[in-house]
């Protein structure tokens, strides 16, 4: 098939997702990542709408992009105004880019009910705006807003809008499913009608309100569209935009369209997670291709299959998109899961012996008591290592006690009462027993402080380890405060991160189990895993 241009609008449309607020530096850094991914056009923002986007385009002039072209976005001139004096068009012309995209209405109802102008005035706004920008030597893409809704209601007017934009000099006519409610067959019909009308290349801009943005984009490509617009991770207003992290591998691996090189495609997962991090959003594990669960295997039957033939339960090689397979261990697992997971960790268990079966039985027993290992791989590795009779833990808990009390503050303080938590622990390291105590901001923090106070005497490098996330889940809500609880702790040494789990009817004990695993795992790794 002919080549397809990739147009990314993460920095504008994607930034309209609830909860995202990108700084100018964030946008510049993301632009560099998108360039490395092989994106052809990066829409940087709307320079006529806010100071941040004005600053972005000013600073973007110093960016060194090897593949991408920056695009400025804006709208047509105002109704009954002059393009020469329109502030928005002037901002686009002065943005310092060679490509601009302007949006205009292509739906009769939108023109009448939203703009409240005549259909002819709308056509004039489109023609005047494109002509103004073309006269200044710019390449102009035209976003035909609400095109598919407009085509459904009045196809002749929607097509007339495209015709006027083409005659004015638009280099690409982008058909927008702005409300995200179109079906793939509707997309195909409208694109085919537009192709018969004009030889100007067509584009597609789909929203995901019907969970069809990617499907609609691919349908448009099959019907002849040559530019696809979308965002990284599908970020965008309401339900989001078409997800380029799915579209790009679909085009290249499924439709044989070389929109990026093999090397660029291998950066896809990295870019996806980078944008999530910069946007301060938790990466969606279930995203196709780039999610951490995209190639995870939990059922024992599946793991047995991929150990023999990787393609038995994977539609592509994860390495093609920079991802990797994962084997999960749970009560649904078979012995193959245990063997495969242990091998990933560099621990060889004999496939014919009893060790793997005993571990599987132990996992199933512990999961029945609230433990869960598929997101706590550090705890699972410790479980495997502790099954070895020669394993020597770096420390052992003898006992602990925690006191929580309410104390009165001096009368001069506004809040006359405060909560105090104090933990006392006894820990055995080698042949020595250490007894320490520490106060903390809550019982878990106090326990953490007391444990570290004891262990730092023997393992001073533990000071690098920080607890970065702490989650508690109630497993049996019907029994109230007597419920089993699961605690998941995420820790980091500044370089790597790992997760551990604990479960008990006592939240302090569950926290201790997860906390102790976290420190034991790190100490084990410092000794070379022995």
Note the pLDDT of residue 314.
81
Task: Please enumerate in sequence order all residues whose Cβ is within 8 A of that of 120, keeping only pairs 6 or more positions apart, or say none.
Answer: none
CA dihedral 130, 132, 133, 134 (to 10 degrees): 80
Looking up tokens 């984009």 gives 217
**pLDDT band with cut points at 50, 70 and 90 for residue 239:** very high
pLDDT at residue 2 greater than cutoff 80: no
Alpha carbon distance 501, 499 (integer Å) = 7
Note the pLDDT of residue 467.
87
Average confidence score pLDDT of the chain? 88
Note the pLDDT of residue 1.
52
Note the pLDDT of residue 391.
84
Alpha carbon distance 421, 445 (integer Å) = 8
The better pLDDT of the pair 93, 340 is held by 93
Q: What are the C-alpha distances in Å from 210 to residues 16, 51, 127, 207?
A: 18, 34, 32, 8
Q: What are the residue ranges spanned by the domains of the chain? A: 5-278, 296-382
pTM for the model? 0.72
Q: ∠245-250-253 over CA atoms, to 5°?
A: 120
Query: pLDDT digits over 387-434, tens only?
Result: 777 888 999 988 889 888 876 655 555 555 677 889 999 999 999 999
Spelled out in words, what is the top-level CATH class assigned to the domain 5-278?
A: alpha beta
Q: What is the mean pLDDT of residues 5-9?
A: 98
Looking up tokens 């309209």 gives 16
pLDDT at residue 368 greater than cutoff 90: no
Query: pLDDT digits over 24-71, tens only?
Result: 999 999 999 999 999 999 999 999 788 899 999 999 999 999 999 999
Q: What is the mean pLDDT of residues 323-327?
A: 73
**pLDDT band with cut points at 50, 70 and 90 for residue 307:** low
Note the pLDDT of residue 332.
46
């Amino acid at each position: 098939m002919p080549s397809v241009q990739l147009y990314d609008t993460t920095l504008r449309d994607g930034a309209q997702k609830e909860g995202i607020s990108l700084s100018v530096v964030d946008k510049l850094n993301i632009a560099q990542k998108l360039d490395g991914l092989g994106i052809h056009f990066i829409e940087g923002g709307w320079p006529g709408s806010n100071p941040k986007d004005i600053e972005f385009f000013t600073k973007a002039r110093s960016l060194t992009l090897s593949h991408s072209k920056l695009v400025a976005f804006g709208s047509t001139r105002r109704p009954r105004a002059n393009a020469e004096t329109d502030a928005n068009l002037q901002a686009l012309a002065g943005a310092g880019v060679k490509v601009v995209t302007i949006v205009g209405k292509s739906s009769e109802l939108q023109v009448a009910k939203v703009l409240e102008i005549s259909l002819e005035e709308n056509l004039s706004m489109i023609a005047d705006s494109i002509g103004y920008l073309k006269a200044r030597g710019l390449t102009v893409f035209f976003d035909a807003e609400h095109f598919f809704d407009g085509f459904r209601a009045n196809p002749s007017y929607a097509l007339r809008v495209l015709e006027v934009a083409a005659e004015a000099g638009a280099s690409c006519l982008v058909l927008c499913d702005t409300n995200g409610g179109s079906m793939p067959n509707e997309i195909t019909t409208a694109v085919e009608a537009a192709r018969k009308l004009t030889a100007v290349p067509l584009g597609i801009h789909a929203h995901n309100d019907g969970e069809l943005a990617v499907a609609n984009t691919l349908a448009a490509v099959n019907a002849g569209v040559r530019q696809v617009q979308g965002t990284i991770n599908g970020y965008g207003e309401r339900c989001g935009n078409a997800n380029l992290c799915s579209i790009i591998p679909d085009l290249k691996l499924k439709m044989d369209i070389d929109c990026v090189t093999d090397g660029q495609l291998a950066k896809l997962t990295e870019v996806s997670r980078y944008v999530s991090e910069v946007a301060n959003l938790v990466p969606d594990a279930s995203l196709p291709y780039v999610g951490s669960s995209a190639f995870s295997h939990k059922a024992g039957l599946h793991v047995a299959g991929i150990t023999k033939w990787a393609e038995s339960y994977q539609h592509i090689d994860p390495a093609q998109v920079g991802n990797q397979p994962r084997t999960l261990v749970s009560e649904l697992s078979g012995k193959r899961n245990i063997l495969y997971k242990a091998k990933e960790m560099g621990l060889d268990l004999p496939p014919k012996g009893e060790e793997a079966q005993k571990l599987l039985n132990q996992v199933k027993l512990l999961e029945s008591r609230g433990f869960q290992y598929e997101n706590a791989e550090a705890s699972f590795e410790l479980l495997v290592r502790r099954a070895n009779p020669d394993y020597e833990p770096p420390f052992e808990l003898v006992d602990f006690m925690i006191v929580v009390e309410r104390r009165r503050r001096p009368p001069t303080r506004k809040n006359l009462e405060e909560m105090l938590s104090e933990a006392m622990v006894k820990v055995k390291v080698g042949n020595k027993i250490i007894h320490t105590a520490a106060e903390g901001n809550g019982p878990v923090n106090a326990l953490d402080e007391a444990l570290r106070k004891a262990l730092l005497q023997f393992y001073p490098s533990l000071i690098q380890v920080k607890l970065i996330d702490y989650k508690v889940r109630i497993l049996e809500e019907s029994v109230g405060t007597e419920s089993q609880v699961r605690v998941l702790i995420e820790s980091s040494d500044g370089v790597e991160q790992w997760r551990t789990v604990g479960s008990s009817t006592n939240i302090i004990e569950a926290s201790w189990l997860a906390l102790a695993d976290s420190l034991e795992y790190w100490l084990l790794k410092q000794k070379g895993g022995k």
